Amino acid sequence: EPEVTQTPSHQVTQMGQEVILRCVPISNHLYFYWYRQILGQKVEFLVSFYNNEISEKSEIFDDQFSVERPDGSNFTLKIRSTKLEDSAMYFCASRSGTIETQYFGPGTRLLVL
């Protein structure tokens, strides 16, 4: 069964460094998402992406964040200058159509020191 994959599974970085989190959505899916879950808190929406542009973003998704679909398979989240409070599990999700289910990847646990 097709699944969303994410790399790396864990990443440790120093405050102020740039990180890129990578996702490979399910191949025929058209809509892509990033969510995050700070330890012990609820899963929060960051951004949705369709047709090579952002369709919606939350207030969390400030200028330090960017997303890109550099080729036909990858979907990336970049944090330009990480802060301690960016430490969280980041989930990528994708869906095929207008009302179809979002399928989540296993997540990348980011720790900013």
Restricted to residues 80-99, the positions that interact with another protein (CB under 8 A) are 91, 93, 95, 98-99
Report the C-alpha gap between 110 and 79 in whole angstroms: 11
Report the C-alpha gap between 42 and 24 in whole angstroms: 24
Using rule CB under 8 A, residue 25 touches another protein: no
| Residue from the set 21, 88, 107, 112 that interacts with another protein by CB under 8 A | 107
Q: How far is CA 41 from CA 36, 50, 89, 106, 112, in A?
A: 10, 27, 10, 17, 17
Which amino acid would we find at residue 3? E
Pattern 34-73, binding to another protein, x per CB under 8 A?
-x-----xxxxx--x-x----xx-x---------------
- Chain residues that interact with another protein, rule: CB under 8 A: 31, 33, 35, 41-45, 48, 50, 55-56, 58, 91, 93, 95, 98-99, 101-107
